[in-house]
Structure 1
Amino acid sequence: MNKFKVFFTFFAFSWLLACGVGAFFPLIGSAAASEKLAWAGVILNALALPVWIWLRYLYPQKFHGDIRESNAFLAVLIGLAVALLADGQLGLPIYLVIANLFVVLLYLYHFSSVAHPSLPGINQQFPDLEEQTGENCNIADFCRERELDGAFVVFLRGSFCADSRSQLASFERLLPQLQKRNIGLLLFSAQPMSSWAKAFSRLGVPAADELTVHQLAESSQDYPLFVARQGAPLLMYPWQSAAARPSAWLVDSEGVILWRELAANYRTPARADLLRAQWFRLVD
């Protein structure tokens, strides 16, 4: 299923880009104003989502997504309306904008969905995590060494993901509040820290132990629980084919799970606001 979603996500964005760029040629060549307007609607309808995702990737501190990608979806619908109103002859622009809407909806609600395997539940012990370096991460030991009351454990999909970069930006602002409340933060992914260096640099996030992204060991028996082996975008496959399933956990100082958030869609991972709303559980 992961391979299916990865392939069709690549196809969806390739189609939207090709459709949007290709619409410039009939736009330039059209003589009638109504035809020009219809093709302009196709361009807006097709390019809205790819451009929005690219902006979110480049500027995660400024642009934030949601389950519907509301800003992009509004532009898609505006482009649809323009093409429908302008193309009185029911020509190719109308068929293209309707097809594009279908492709966008498939991406938003199916291709970017996440299926999690059976994972530990509330009041169960959080499993030990083996890092690629060979070190073993036990949450209870982590809290004991730092005299913490608990820790958030967050799995980031990857440095290639706009939403993972948005998470990092929000965690950087959240970190002082966590330190004040004596709560730790552990970040994990399927990529080495070197892959995250550019993301940290672009975000202006200083290097710190609290924001180090630890790489899970592929040989670990728990690796398949948190990582989809063919979950990375198709263009990443020459370098990286695995992607962590986005999830967040609040674990107390004894290693017991108090709360968990298993993202149903990789575009809606747990950000700082959601973590901030859960730390009262350590007091209760």
Structure 2
Amino acid sequence: MRYLFPAKISGDIREPGAFAGVLLGLALVLLADSERGWPVYLAIYNLFVFLLYLYHLSSVAWPPAPAVDSLFPAVEEMNKGRWRVEDYCSEHSVEGVIVLFLRGSYCADSRNQLHQLRALQEELLGKNVGLVLWSVQGENKWPRWLLAHDSAVNTLRVRQLAQPVPEMFVAANAAPFLLRPWIKDAARPSAWLVDAEGNILWRELAANYRTPVSVATLGSQLFRLQE
């Protein structure tokens, strides 16, 4: 449901409703089966798998990444060549840029993040700040209704990382197992605020694929460009 309706349904790392449902089901099974037979073992196994996914399999392992006050590295864009913050800011006459890496179009949290970004676009325009989105997938893999809006100003664009993908931003074989025949890698969710000279003013590296940076957090960091 969160995948299909990212504008209406969002979640968090705890997923309170789902977690409460699992615990309630386990409690009912324990009460109904005093001999603790296979139903109990199955319920405990399901709970273990659920927790394993929630807290371990969805966690993000980060290699050494560019630090604050260092230069943001150049990134290779598919069929376009090298992309540099300095060139982008000069071309668009902006004072800085927010660079976001999205896990993938199959990720409900990435879709929800895209939806939230619409609310930030007007503020970015007013403060003369650019927004650049990156993913392992091409733009045609993302729902058009999430990217396009009622004007060209509000249209989001997702740039595709070229092969070989940069290890500091992409986790190898991190896409869901069922998608492996079509896609293997996944971008590590992260957000970077970079000035026109390419200096990193702020960053947030997500600890979990389910908790990318919120739009409220992005908006609260824009003051750094005026310091």
Structure 1 residue matching 2:207: 3-state secondary structure: coil
Alignment counterpart, residue 214 of structure 2, candidates 256, 268, 271: 271
2:140 paired residue number? 194
State the Cα deviation string for residues 8-33 of structure 1 (Å, max 9, x = none): xxxxxxxxxxxxxxxxxxxxxxxxxx
Structure 1 residue matching 2:19: 3-state secondary structure: helix
2:157 paired residue number? 212
Structure 1 residue matching 2:201: 3-state secondary structure: strand
Structure 2 residue matching 1:56: 3-state secondary structure: coil
Q: Give the aligned residue type for 1:219.
A: P
Bigger mean CA offset, 82-91 vs 174-183: 82-91
Computed over aligned residues only, the root mean square deviation of the Cα atoms, in angstroms, reads 1.8
Structure 2 residue matching 1:177: 3-state secondary structure: helix
Q: Which has the higher contact order (CA 8 A, sep 6+)?
A: 2
Alignment counterpart, residue 148 of structure 1, candidates 88, 94, 102: 94
2:173 paired residue number? 230
The structure whose residues are more often helix, as a share, is: 1
Tell me, in whole angstroms, the C-alpha distance in 2 between the residues paired with 1:208 and 1:160. Answer: 25
1:19 paired residue number? none
Structure 1 residue matching 2:191: 3-state secondary structure: strand
Q: How many residues align?
A: 225
Q: CA deviation at 1:277?
A: 1.8
Bigger mean CA offset, 205-214 vs 165-174: 205-214
TM-score by length of 2: 0.92
Q: Give the aligned residue type for 2:93.
A: E
Tell me, in whole angstroms, the C-alpha distance in 2 between the residues paired with 1:183 and 1:77. Answer: 46
Tell me, in whole angstroms, the C-alpha distance in 2 between the residues paired with 1:184 and 1:204. Answer: 16
The answer to whether structure 1 residue 82 and structure 2 residue 28 are counterparts is: yes
TM-score by length of 1: 0.74
Alignment counterpart, residue 108 of structure 2, candidates 158, 162, 168: 162
| Percent of aligned pairs sharing the same letter | 52
Q: CA deviation at 1:211?
A: 1.3
User: Is the CA contact (8 Å cut-off) linking 2:139 and 2:157 kept in structure 1?
Assistant: yes
Pairing 1:54-133 to 2, within 5 Å after superposition: 55-133=1-79
Q: CA deviation at 1:92?
A: 2.5
1:36 paired residue number? none
1:179 paired residue number? 125
User: Is the CA contact (8 Å cut-off) linking 1:172 and 1:205 kept in structure 2?
Assistant: no
1:256 paired residue number? 199
State the Cα deviation string for residues 129-188 of structure 1 (Å, max 9, x = none): 110113321112211222212111000011011111111111122211211121111000
The structure whose residues are more often strand, as a share, is: 2
Q: Give the aligned residue type for 2:19.
A: F
Q: Give the aligned residue type for 2:176.
A: P
Q: CA deviation at 1:89?
A: 3.7
Q: CA deviation at 1:229?
A: 2.5
Q: 1:239 to 1:208 in 2, by over 3 A?
A: farther
Structure 2 residue matching 1:169: 3-state secondary structure: helix
Q: Give the aligned residue type for 1:98.
A: I
User: Is the CA contact (8 Å cut-off) linking 1:139 and 1:255 kept in structure 2?
Assistant: yes
State the Cα deviation string for residues 203-248 of structure 1 (Å, max 9, x = none): 474385761100011136xx12211221111221221111111111
Tell me, in whole angstroms, the C-alpha distance in 2 between the residues paired with 1:208 and 1:106. Answer: 42
Tell me, in whole angstroms, the C-alpha distance in 2 between the residues paired with 1:63 and 1:73. Answer: 16
Tell me, in whole angstroms, the C-alpha distance in 2 between the residues paired with 1:235 and 1:208. Answer: 35
Tell me, in whole angstroms, the C-alpha distance in 2 between the residues paired with 1:271 and 1:214. Answer: 20
Structure 1 residue matching 2:86: 3-state secondary structure: helix
Tell me, in whole angstroms, the C-alpha distance in 1 between the residues paired with 2:84 and 2:30. Answer: 58
Q: Give the aligned residue type for 1:217.
A: A
